[in-house]
Amino acid sequence: MIIEGKILLSNRIVEAGILIENGIIKEIKKSLSGKKLKGLIMPAGIDAHVHLRDFEESHKESIDTGTLAALNGGICLVVDQPNTKPPVESYEIYLKRVREAEKKCWVDYSLNLALTRKNAEKVEEIFERVKKEGYNPRIGEVFLQHESLEVGYEEIAKVKNLPLNIHAEDPEFVLGNEIPNFLYRKRKAEIVAVEKCLKIGKFYFCHISTKEAFEMIKERGGVAEVTPHHLLFSEKDYEKLGNFVNVNPPLRGEEDRKFLLENFSKIDVLASDHAPHLTEEKEEGASGYPGVETMYPVMMGLVFKGVINAFDLAEKIAKNPAKTYGFERYGEIKEGHYANLAAFDISELQKVKLKNLHSKCGWTPYENFPAIFPHSVIVRGEFVKHRGEILDERVGRVYRI
């Protein structure tokens, strides 16, 4: 198969054809002609931080619905987090979940392993067993503040040589989770937690939301993940979001939001932290926003407006997640890589509408945001969405080393 169009390579955009054989990009040449895709052909995204629920919380999301949403938003691979019910804290539960995913995923799938006080003494052994099975986990999202999965800095220090993803909120500065929770989960919680963790090691820090924490990571080492909602929402959006405002870490002030957006080129990984809850759960203060389907389209809307550029977006949403996780042959449009492609037509700028989304949760904070959804998505050389329509065949698979 040959795909032809305007292609974003690592540092340039070229009009060329892509020869695809057995799911792999064999050649990229201007002389190749084939199926023409309108607009800009970008690398399909990797969402390195999603919560697909399932198990005892399948009423609000599942691997089936969550990966279908990812597909529609131009994502080719998701990394599921282990704070499920029950948590993915044992070898047996890990295998149970990936085997479920093998039957349900619309796009490619990877699963992290939990660190809890229950498994802290044997997590390294569990991690090695999982790796021997050919899977590719990191440890975490590791919670310093969580009612049932909280661990301390001492547990982190004991396993600091494992690849850890840290949710950095120090419990001393988390006073509650009432609505709006930005009044109770203090900025200092993140700043102190990042500072303490950086004294232990250089980790992957999830959903960084404050200027000081971001600057510490960039200065001292580690990976800074940032979400679209911390780039686009702030405390002032409580008026619009109402009881749905809660998210962990909370929305911050305009100064933090503007700083992160202005420094988009310096962040390491853009991830959605897709954390769906039903509307009635949100009314009661549940923390989390859905976002796996809207992340790439909304950010492409910012490209359209000139707020960010397409090269930076491709790096944060595809190249860097692949590099950080070691997802071989993912993350870039280049010879020898999988043909994971998403085609965006700038003329198709539209508003996000809940009725067009695929998550079970029944709401989105991005309603009416300008966005460009991909009209075509290719995963490992197979069209999974074309001309705006999702195709019936599931090609997703669990990532294996």
Active site residues: 273
Cβ–Cβ < 8 Å for 368, 69: no
Rounded CA gap, 271 and 205, in Å? 11
Cβ–Cβ < 8 Å for 198, 217: yes
For tokens 């989304």, the residue is: 357
Tally: H helices and E strands in the chain:
13, 18
Which residue, 385, 384, 335, is CA-closest to 18? Answer: 335
Q: How far is CA 74 from CA 170, 296, 390, in A?
A: 34, 7, 11
- Rounded (5°) CA angle 123-53-148: 50
- Beta strand 269-270 with 223-226 is parallel
Give the tokens for residue 199.
């004294």
Which residue, 12, 46, 50, 42, is CA-closest to 30? Answer: 12
Tell whether omega for the bond before 249 is within 30 degrees of 0, i.e. cis.
yes
Residue 348, judged by CB atoms within 10 A of its CB (0-12, 13-18, 19+), counts as: middle
Residues with Cβ within 8 Å of 366's Cβ and at least 6 positions away in sequence, in order, are 291, 294, 298, 352
Q: How far is CA 12 from CA 117, 156, 235, 250, 324, in A?
A: 48, 41, 37, 37, 23
